[in-house]
């Protein structure tokens, strides 16, 4: 079956569906309706049905979606029904945190190599991974067929790491450093800088506060 | 001047503009064109002009935007021209990393209280903050007028922390735990779960790989 091009918004929602479905599965729940998913995700059930319809007819009226079938299908669409190997550069607190999160993850994205050029980090361990110097990056990426890289170094080192990722053929980068990085067009980069999230959260808080105190809004 | 309601997409881009402008300012660059911003951000200059026009006429043709003026204006719109205090619950690696990032941030969002109920965490220090038990949450939130909370506890503890945030009047939550949390409608919640970012990154990588290997795409 030929699949339509999926919008970025839908691609961003699929991991969220997967998360909820994994949770339902772990509680041994076998079917779920779009209404129930809607309540859990604070999304319109019609939106959910539309999103999932991209990939064929999953649901059955009055019965809902088969949880395990939907998990398998979304994993297949996201291509995480196979293991995807990830390299992480920056063995600080954030690097440790991501490795720990990842260790317990049910997804098939696995951080399988960690790098840091600081002498006090090289040779230390994060879980079962030994922190390696950047000179080992190319060898590991080739040997393990790593396609994704995570950057958790300070902002001023981030572009340098991105350049090295690109040079060894990394195709996708998740950047946690608060820096705007330039990479060639064929490399996809996503920013996960939490200060941005905080700032946009602030916008909503304060504006809501204003509305409450602004009596002219009482129409 | 009455401001139009700003779309969520624009609100999400404002922190990114702010980040680039701060960087330009630190390099003592005084004016920037929408073209230059476009290159840095990989955005269409027309989009940038449109985004910034929401807030009045900033730019001048042929001269561009005054960097410092734009910084002040965006800070004002995001309401981070005043200090916004943030409480963080979960003093693990991720909590440490966020506190460290925040310490060096030029923004006015400051983590000013850290909590964790695990006995081996209580009383330890992160930078200049002492980790407090959750029983101190309400007092600190009231005394410091904290409005935003960050959750960096494991997934199974996250809903409990969210409930406590809501109970003490926190208005916005940034959740790093890989869990879907339920909060009342008036509380805004943003998820910063990195596994979602990784999964959507995987979608693009693999599909791009397919296109390259799929000869029928050569139209």
Q: Which CATH class is domain A84-197?
A: alpha beta
With CB atoms and an 8 Å threshold, state whether A178 touches B77. no
List, as one string, the DSSP characters of chain B. Answer: -PPPPPPHHHHHHHHHHHHHHHHHHHTT--EE-HHHHHHHHT--HHHHHHHHHTT----BTTTBEEHHHHHHHHHHHTTTTS-EEEEEE--SHHHHHHHHHHHH-SSSEEEEEEE---TTTTT-EETTEEEE-GGGHHHHHHHHT--EEEE-S-HHHHHHHHHHHHHTT--EEEE-SSS-----TTSEEEE--HHHHHHHHHHHHHHHHHHHH-GGG--
With CB atoms and an 8 Å threshold, state whether A78 touches B199. yes
Regarding pTM above 0.80, the answer is no
pLDDT of residue A164: 98
Q: Which residues of A belong to the annotated binding site? A: 90-95
Grade residue A217 by pLDDT with cuts at 50, 70 and 90.
very low
**What does the alpha-carbon distance between residue A217 and residue A9 come to, in Å, rounded to a whole number?**
32
Range(s) for CATH 3.40.50.720 in chain B? 84-197
Q: Which long-range contacts (CB under 8 A, 24 or more apart) does A45-53 make?
A: A48/A17, A51/A10, A51/A13, A51/A14, A51/A17, A52/A17
Residues on chain B touching A207 (C-beta within 8 angstroms): 79
Judge whether A107 is closer than 8 Å to chain B, CB to CB: yes
Residues on chain A touching B101 (C-beta within 8 angstroms): 94, 178, 194-195
Q: In whole angstroms, what separates CA B155 from the centre of its chain?
A: 20
CB-CB contact of A33 with A20 (8 Å): no
Q: Is the pLDDT of residue B91 over 90?
A: yes
With CB atoms and an 8 Å threshold, state whether A40 touches B96. no
Which tens digit of pLDDT belongs to each residue from A77-129? Answer: 888 888 889 999 999 999 998 998 777 666 778 999 999 999 999 999 998 89
- A9-18, A91-100, A171-180, B83-92: segment of lowest average pLDDT: A9-18
Residue B91 assigned ligand-binding role: yes
Q: Which CATH class is domain B8-77?
A: mainly alpha
Nearest chain B CA: its distance from A60 CA (Å): 25
- A117-121, B173-177, B207-211: segment of lowest average pLDDT: B207-211
Q: In whole angstroms, what separates CA B164 from the centre of its chain?
A: 22
Dihedral sign for Cα atoms in the order A18, A23, A26, A32: negative
Judge whether A85 is closer than 8 Å to chain B, CB to CB: no
Q: What DSSP character marks residue A130?
A: E
Which chain A residue has the Cα nearest residue B179? Answer: A19
With CB atoms and an 8 Å threshold, state whether B206 touches A79. yes
Nearest to B190 among A11, A107, A197 (CB): A197
Which chain A residue has the Cα nearest residue B16? Answer: A196
Judge whether A198 is closer than 8 Å to chain B, CB to CB: yes
pLDDT of residue B215: 34
Which tens digit of pLDDT belongs to each residue from A30-79? Answer: 999 988 888 888 788 888 888 888 766 666 666 788 899 899 888 888 88
Q: Is the pLDDT of residue B218 over 50?
A: no
Judge whether A206 is closer than 8 Å to chain B, CB to CB: yes
With CB atoms and an 8 Å threshold, state whether B199 touches A15. yes
Q: Round the average pLDDT of chain A to a whole number and report it.
A: 84
Q: Which residues are registered as beta bridge partners of B124?
A: none
Q: Round the average pLDDT of chain B to a whole number and report it.
A: 84
Judge whether A211 is closer than 8 Å to chain B, CB to CB: no
Residue B92 assigned ligand-binding role: yes
With CB atoms and an 8 Å threshold, state whether B107 touches A40. no
Q: Is the pLDDT of residue B41 over 90?
A: no
Range(s) for CATH 1.10.10.10 in chain A? 8-77
Buried b (16+ CB within 10 A) or exposed e, B159-176: bebbebbbebebbbbbbb
Nearest to A96 among B77, B93, B180 (CB): B93
**What does the alpha-carbon distance between residue A152 and residue A93 come to, in Å, rounded to a whole number?**
9
pLDDT of residue A4: 58
pLDDT of residue B64: 83
């Amino acid at each position: 079956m030929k699949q339509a091009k999926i919008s970025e918004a839908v691609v961003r929602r699929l991991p969220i569906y997967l998360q909820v479905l994994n949770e339902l599965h772990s509680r041994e729940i076998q079917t779920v309706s779009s209404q129930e998913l809607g309540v859990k995700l604070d999304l319109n059930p019609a939106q959910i049905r539309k999103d999932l319809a991209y990939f064929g007819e999953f649901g059955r009226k009055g019965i809902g979606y088969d949880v395990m079938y939907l998990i398998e299908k979304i994993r297949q669409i996201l291509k995480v029904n196979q293991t995807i190997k990830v390299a992480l550069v920056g063995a600080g607190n954030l690097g440790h945190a991501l490795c720990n999160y990842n260790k317990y993850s049910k997804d098939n994205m696995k951080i399988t190599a960690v790098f840091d050029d600081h002498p006090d980090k090289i040779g230390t361990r994060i879980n079962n991974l030994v922190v390696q110097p950047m000179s080992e990056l190319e060898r590991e990426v080739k040997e393990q067929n790593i396609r994704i890289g995570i950057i958790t170094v300070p902002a001023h080192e981030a572009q340098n790491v991105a350049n090295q990722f690109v040079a060894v053929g990394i195709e996708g980068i998740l950047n946690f450093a608060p820096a705007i990085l330039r990479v060639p067009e064929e490399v996809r980069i996503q920013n996960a800088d939490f200060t941005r999230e905080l700032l946009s959260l602030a916008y909503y808080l304060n504006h809501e506060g204003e509305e409450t105190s602004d009596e002219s809004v009482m129409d």
